[in-house]
Amino acid sequence: MQPGINLDWEKLRLFDVVADAGSFTEAARRLHMSQPALSRQIAALEESLGAKLFHRHARGLAMTHEGEQLRSATSDMHERIDRAAQAIDASRDRPTGAIRLTTTVSFGSTWLARQLGDFLDLYPDISVHLMLTDADLDLAKREADVAIRFHRPFQSELMQRPLANIRHYLVASPDYLARHGEPRTIADLEQHRLIAYGDAAPDYLKGINWILELGHEGHPRPAALTINNSHGVLQAVESGAGIAALPSYLIRSSGRVQVVLPQVEGPVFRTFFTYPSELRRSLRIAALRDFLVDRMTSQALDM
Protein backbone atom coordinates (compact mmCIF):
# COMPACT_ATOMS: atom_id res chain seq x y z
CA MET A 1 0.00 0.00 0.00
CA GLN A 2 1.36 3.38 -0.95
CA PRO A 3 2.08 5.90 1.86
CA GLY A 4 -0.78 8.24 2.70
CA ILE A 5 -3.56 5.99 1.39
CA ASN A 6 -6.73 5.88 3.48
CA LEU A 7 -8.59 2.62 2.99
CA ASP A 8 -12.36 2.76 2.76
CA TRP A 9 -13.84 0.39 5.34
CA GLU A 10 -16.93 -0.20 3.21
CA LYS A 11 -14.82 -1.22 0.21
CA LEU A 12 -12.86 -3.59 2.44
CA ARG A 13 -16.12 -5.18 3.56
CA LEU A 14 -17.20 -5.64 -0.05
CA PHE A 15 -13.80 -7.09 -0.95
CA ASP A 16 -14.10 -9.63 1.87
CA VAL A 17 -17.50 -10.80 0.59
CA VAL A 18 -16.20 -11.11 -2.98
CA ALA A 19 -13.15 -13.07 -1.80
CA ASP A 20 -15.40 -15.42 0.16
CA ALA A 21 -17.92 -15.85 -2.68
CA GLY A 22 -15.34 -16.45 -5.40
CA SER A 23 -17.29 -14.50 -8.03
CA PHE A 24 -18.84 -11.08 -8.50
CA THR A 25 -22.20 -12.63 -9.38
CA GLU A 26 -22.49 -14.58 -6.11
CA ALA A 27 -21.08 -11.71 -4.06
CA ALA A 28 -23.55 -9.24 -5.59
CA ARG A 29 -26.40 -11.63 -4.76
CA ARG A 30 -25.28 -11.87 -1.13
CA LEU A 31 -24.90 -8.12 -0.87
CA HIS A 32 -28.20 -7.32 -2.64
CA MET A 33 -26.50 -4.98 -5.10
CA SER A 34 -25.85 -5.03 -8.84
CA GLN A 35 -22.79 -6.77 -10.20
CA PRO A 36 -21.55 -3.67 -12.14
CA ALA A 37 -21.79 -1.53 -9.00
CA LEU A 38 -19.83 -4.11 -7.01
CA SER A 39 -17.19 -4.40 -9.75
CA ARG A 40 -16.73 -0.61 -9.71
CA GLN A 41 -16.19 -0.61 -5.94
CA ILE A 42 -13.53 -3.32 -6.15
CA ALA A 43 -11.85 -1.57 -9.10
CA ALA A 44 -11.74 1.65 -7.03
CA LEU A 45 -10.16 -0.28 -4.14
CA GLU A 46 -7.54 -1.76 -6.46
CA GLU A 47 -6.79 1.69 -7.83
CA SER A 48 -6.32 3.16 -4.36
CA LEU A 49 -3.96 0.31 -3.46
CA GLY A 50 -2.12 0.39 -6.75
CA ALA A 51 -2.41 -3.39 -7.05
CA LYS A 52 -4.69 -6.01 -8.57
CA LEU A 53 -6.58 -8.09 -6.01
CA PHE A 54 -8.20 -10.68 -8.32
CA HIS A 55 -7.38 -12.59 -11.47
CA ARG A 56 -10.59 -12.84 -13.59
CA HIS A 57 -11.12 -16.11 -15.40
CA ALA A 58 -14.04 -18.02 -16.91
CA ARG A 59 -14.82 -20.01 -13.77
CA GLY A 60 -14.77 -16.99 -11.46
CA LEU A 61 -12.08 -15.17 -9.51
CA ALA A 62 -8.74 -16.10 -8.02
CA MET A 63 -6.94 -13.82 -5.58
CA THR A 64 -3.55 -12.40 -6.48
CA HIS A 65 -0.72 -12.42 -3.94
CA GLU A 66 -1.72 -8.91 -2.94
CA GLY A 67 -5.34 -10.02 -2.63
CA GLU A 68 -4.35 -12.88 -0.31
CA GLN A 69 -2.40 -10.45 1.87
CA LEU A 70 -5.38 -8.12 2.12
CA ARG A 71 -7.79 -11.01 2.80
CA SER A 72 -5.62 -12.16 5.69
CA ALA A 73 -5.83 -8.66 7.17
CA THR A 74 -9.58 -8.25 6.61
CA SER A 75 -10.33 -11.69 8.06
CA ASP A 76 -8.42 -10.79 11.21
CA MET A 77 -10.22 -7.44 11.28
CA HIS A 78 -13.64 -9.07 11.06
CA GLU A 79 -12.79 -11.59 13.76
CA ARG A 80 -11.70 -8.82 16.12
CA ILE A 81 -14.82 -6.78 15.35
CA ASP A 82 -17.00 -9.85 15.94
CA ARG A 83 -15.30 -10.48 19.30
CA ALA A 84 -15.75 -6.85 20.28
CA ALA A 85 -19.40 -6.93 19.25
CA GLN A 86 -19.95 -10.09 21.28
CA ALA A 87 -18.27 -8.52 24.31
CA ILE A 88 -20.39 -5.39 23.96
CA ASP A 89 -23.53 -7.47 23.63
CA ALA A 90 -22.60 -9.52 26.69
CA SER A 91 -21.85 -6.39 28.72
CA ARG A 92 -25.43 -5.22 28.22
CA ASP A 93 -26.63 -7.98 30.53
CA ARG A 94 -23.76 -8.36 33.01
CA PRO A 95 -20.80 -6.24 34.17
CA THR A 96 -17.64 -7.07 32.27
CA GLY A 97 -14.37 -5.45 31.27
CA ALA A 98 -11.48 -3.64 32.95
CA ILE A 99 -11.62 -0.84 35.52
CA ARG A 100 -8.65 1.43 36.23
CA LEU A 101 -9.22 2.57 39.81
CA THR A 102 -7.06 5.19 41.51
CA THR A 103 -6.86 6.33 45.13
CA THR A 104 -4.29 7.29 47.77
CA VAL A 105 -1.36 4.99 48.48
CA SER A 106 -2.24 4.34 52.13
CA PHE A 107 -5.93 3.69 51.61
CA GLY A 108 -5.50 1.67 48.44
CA SER A 109 -2.68 -0.53 49.73
CA THR A 110 -4.46 -1.41 52.98
CA TRP A 111 -8.23 -1.29 53.44
CA LEU A 112 -9.23 -1.15 49.77
CA ALA A 113 -6.88 -3.89 48.57
CA ARG A 114 -8.38 -6.26 51.14
CA GLN A 115 -11.89 -5.71 49.75
CA LEU A 116 -11.22 -6.23 46.07
CA GLY A 117 -11.03 -10.02 46.29
CA ASP A 118 -14.67 -10.09 47.36
CA PHE A 119 -15.55 -7.78 44.47
CA LEU A 120 -13.83 -10.07 41.96
CA ASP A 121 -15.68 -13.06 43.42
CA LEU A 122 -18.96 -11.26 42.78
CA TYR A 123 -17.98 -10.11 39.28
CA PRO A 124 -15.55 -12.62 37.70
CA ASP A 125 -15.83 -10.94 34.29
CA ILE A 126 -14.36 -7.66 35.62
CA SER A 127 -10.65 -7.00 36.10
CA VAL A 128 -9.41 -4.15 38.31
CA HIS A 129 -6.18 -2.23 37.82
CA LEU A 130 -5.45 -0.38 41.08
CA MET A 131 -3.35 2.76 40.54
CA LEU A 132 -2.05 4.20 43.81
CA THR A 133 -0.85 7.79 44.11
CA ASP A 134 -1.46 10.69 46.49
CA ALA A 135 -1.75 12.99 43.48
CA ASP A 136 -5.07 13.30 41.63
CA LEU A 137 -4.96 11.54 38.27
CA ASP A 138 -7.00 13.42 35.65
CA LEU A 139 -10.16 11.40 35.01
CA ALA A 140 -11.30 13.80 32.29
CA LYS A 141 -8.14 12.88 30.35
CA ARG A 142 -8.78 9.19 31.10
CA GLU A 143 -5.61 8.75 33.15
CA ALA A 144 -7.88 6.45 35.17
CA ASP A 145 -11.52 5.38 34.89
CA VAL A 146 -12.67 6.00 38.46
CA ALA A 147 -11.24 7.39 41.69
CA ILE A 148 -11.87 7.25 45.40
CA ARG A 149 -11.06 10.82 46.41
CA PHE A 150 -10.58 12.26 49.88
CA HIS A 151 -12.15 15.53 48.80
CA ARG A 152 -15.01 16.71 46.62
CA PRO A 153 -13.98 16.59 42.93
CA PHE A 154 -12.57 19.86 41.64
CA GLN A 155 -13.91 19.27 38.12
CA SER A 156 -17.66 19.97 38.07
CA GLU A 157 -18.29 17.70 35.09
CA LEU A 158 -17.26 14.58 37.01
CA MET A 159 -19.88 12.32 38.55
CA GLN A 160 -19.59 11.83 42.29
CA ARG A 161 -21.12 9.57 44.92
CA PRO A 162 -20.38 10.29 48.59
CA LEU A 163 -18.82 7.44 50.54
CA ALA A 164 -18.00 7.14 54.25
CA ASN A 165 -16.18 9.84 56.20
CA ILE A 166 -12.62 9.10 57.34
CA ARG A 167 -11.75 10.11 60.92
CA HIS A 168 -8.31 10.64 62.43
CA TYR A 169 -6.96 9.89 65.91
CA LEU A 170 -3.66 10.19 67.80
CA VAL A 171 -1.84 6.88 68.22
CA ALA A 172 1.36 5.38 69.58
CA SER A 173 2.75 1.89 70.08
CA PRO A 174 2.58 0.20 73.52
CA ASP A 175 6.38 0.02 73.47
CA TYR A 176 6.74 3.78 72.95
CA LEU A 177 4.25 4.53 75.73
CA ALA A 178 6.04 2.14 78.09
CA ARG A 179 9.29 4.01 77.51
CA HIS A 180 8.00 7.59 77.36
CA GLY A 181 4.72 7.55 79.26
CA GLU A 182 1.23 8.23 77.92
CA PRO A 183 0.14 11.84 77.37
CA ARG A 184 -2.89 12.72 79.51
CA THR A 185 -3.49 16.21 78.16
CA ILE A 186 -2.88 18.03 74.89
CA ALA A 187 -0.14 20.04 76.61
CA ASP A 188 1.74 16.79 77.30
CA LEU A 189 2.40 16.44 73.57
CA GLU A 190 5.16 19.02 73.98
CA GLN A 191 7.22 16.36 75.75
CA HIS A 192 6.81 13.66 73.09
CA ARG A 193 8.31 12.78 69.73
CA LEU A 194 5.79 13.59 67.01
CA ILE A 195 5.59 12.05 63.56
CA ALA A 196 3.96 14.03 60.73
CA TYR A 197 3.10 13.57 57.07
CA GLY A 198 5.73 15.98 55.77
CA ASP A 199 5.80 19.18 53.76
CA ALA A 200 4.79 17.61 50.45
CA ALA A 201 1.17 16.88 51.40
CA PRO A 202 -1.28 17.64 48.56
CA ASP A 203 -3.59 20.60 49.15
CA TYR A 204 -6.53 18.38 50.06
CA LEU A 205 -4.41 16.71 52.80
CA LYS A 206 -3.07 19.90 54.39
CA GLY A 207 -5.09 19.27 57.56
CA ILE A 208 -3.43 15.91 58.08
CA ASN A 209 -0.71 17.44 60.27
CA TRP A 210 -3.15 18.74 62.88
CA ILE A 211 -1.11 17.05 65.61
CA LEU A 212 1.51 19.78 65.19
CA GLU A 213 -1.00 22.57 65.77
CA LEU A 214 -3.38 20.97 68.28
CA GLY A 215 -3.78 23.31 71.28
CA HIS A 216 -0.59 25.09 70.27
CA GLU A 217 -0.25 28.83 69.72
CA GLY A 218 2.20 30.36 67.31
CA HIS A 219 4.33 28.23 65.03
CA PRO A 220 3.44 24.53 64.78
CA ARG A 221 5.28 22.06 66.98
CA PRO A 222 8.36 20.58 65.34
CA ALA A 223 8.10 17.00 64.11
CA ALA A 224 10.84 14.58 65.06
CA LEU A 225 10.13 12.57 61.90
CA THR A 226 8.25 13.36 58.69
CA ILE A 227 7.21 10.80 56.09
CA ASN A 228 5.25 11.73 52.97
CA ASN A 229 2.99 8.68 53.10
CA SER A 230 0.46 7.71 55.77
CA HIS A 231 1.29 4.02 55.51
CA GLY A 232 4.93 4.87 56.14
CA VAL A 233 3.89 6.91 59.18
CA LEU A 234 2.05 3.85 60.50
CA GLN A 235 5.18 1.70 60.14
CA ALA A 236 7.17 4.25 62.13
CA VAL A 237 4.52 4.40 64.87
CA GLU A 238 4.37 0.59 65.09
CA SER A 239 8.14 0.49 65.57
CA GLY A 240 7.90 2.87 68.54
CA ALA A 241 9.25 6.00 66.85
CA GLY A 242 6.66 8.38 68.31
CA ILE A 243 3.07 9.65 68.29
CA ALA A 244 1.20 10.43 65.07
CA ALA A 245 -2.25 11.28 63.77
CA LEU A 246 -3.56 8.48 61.58
CA PRO A 247 -6.81 7.65 59.78
CA SER A 248 -9.09 5.16 61.49
CA TYR A 249 -8.81 2.53 58.73
CA LEU A 250 -5.03 2.31 59.23
CA ILE A 251 -5.37 2.10 63.01
CA ARG A 252 -7.98 -0.62 62.69
CA SER A 253 -5.96 -2.65 60.19
CA SER A 254 -2.77 -2.41 62.26
CA GLY A 255 -3.73 -3.92 65.61
CA ARG A 256 -0.30 -2.85 66.90
CA VAL A 257 -1.00 0.73 67.96
CA GLN A 258 -3.33 2.29 70.50
CA VAL A 259 -5.20 5.55 70.61
CA VAL A 260 -3.93 8.23 72.99
CA LEU A 261 -6.00 11.20 74.11
CA PRO A 262 -9.15 9.43 72.84
CA GLN A 263 -11.24 12.49 73.66
CA VAL A 264 -9.38 14.36 70.89
CA GLU A 265 -10.61 13.78 67.36
CA GLY A 266 -8.92 15.25 64.34
CA PRO A 267 -10.30 16.45 61.01
CA VAL A 268 -12.84 14.39 59.13
CA PHE A 269 -12.10 13.75 55.46
CA ARG A 270 -15.10 13.23 53.17
CA THR A 271 -14.62 10.59 50.49
CA PHE A 272 -16.20 10.35 47.05
CA PHE A 273 -16.49 7.74 44.31
CA THR A 274 -15.75 9.80 41.20
CA TYR A 275 -15.90 9.05 37.46
CA PRO A 276 -16.43 10.81 34.09
CA SER A 277 -20.02 11.38 32.97
CA GLU A 278 -19.53 9.25 29.85
CA LEU A 279 -19.20 6.20 32.12
CA ARG A 280 -22.45 6.82 33.97
CA ARG A 281 -24.22 4.00 32.09
CA SER A 282 -21.35 1.52 32.43
CA LEU A 283 -22.47 -1.62 34.25
CA ARG A 284 -18.98 -2.40 35.53
CA ILE A 285 -18.58 1.10 37.00
CA ALA A 286 -22.02 0.86 38.60
CA ALA A 287 -21.11 -2.53 40.05
CA LEU A 288 -17.96 -1.16 41.69
CA ARG A 289 -19.77 1.96 42.92
CA ASP A 290 -22.56 -0.04 44.53
CA PHE A 291 -20.08 -2.49 46.06
CA LEU A 292 -18.12 0.35 47.68
CA VAL A 293 -21.23 2.16 48.89
CA ASP A 294 -22.28 -1.06 50.60
CA ARG A 295 -18.82 -2.03 51.91
CA MET A 296 -17.23 1.33 52.72
CA THR A 297 -19.24 2.33 55.79
CA SER A 298 -18.38 4.17 58.99
CA GLN A 299 -18.71 0.88 60.88
CA ALA A 300 -16.20 -0.79 58.55
CA LEU A 301 -13.67 2.06 58.65
CA ASP A 302 -13.90 3.56 62.13
CA MET A 303 -12.49 2.33 65.40
Note whether 121 and 156 are same-domain residues: yes
Sign of CA dihedral 95, 97, 103, 106: positive
pTM for this entry: 0.66
Note whether 121 and 256 are same-domain residues: no
Per-residue burial over 258-289, b = 16 or more CB atoms within 10 Å of its CB, e = otherwise? bbbbeebebeebebbbbbbeebeebbbbebbb
Note whether 157 and 128 are same-domain residues: yes
**Which of 40, 60, 91 is the last residue in one of the domains?**
91
Note whether 178 and 249 are same-domain residues: yes
Which residue range forms the structural domain that includes residue 127?
A: 97-165+270-301
List the pLDDT tens digit at each of the 303 positions of the chain: 445 556 788 888 899 889 888 889 889 998 999 999 999 999 999 988 889 999 887 777 889 999 898 988 887 777 777 677 666 655 566 789 999 999 999 899 999 999 999 999 999 999 999 999 988 999 988 999 999 999 888 887 899 999 999 999 999 999 999 999 999 999 999 999 999 987 766 666 667 888 888 887 778 889 999 998 888 999 999 999 999 999 999 998 898 999 999 998 888 889 999 999 999 889 999 999 999 999 999 888 886
CATH of the domain at 136: 3.40.190.10
176 and 183 Cβ atoms separated by less than 8 Å? no
Note whether 170 and 263 are same-domain residues: yes
1 located within any domain: no
139 located within any domain: yes
Note whether 114 and 182 are same-domain residues: no
DSSP 12-39: HHHHHHHHHHSSHHHHHHHHTS-HHHHH
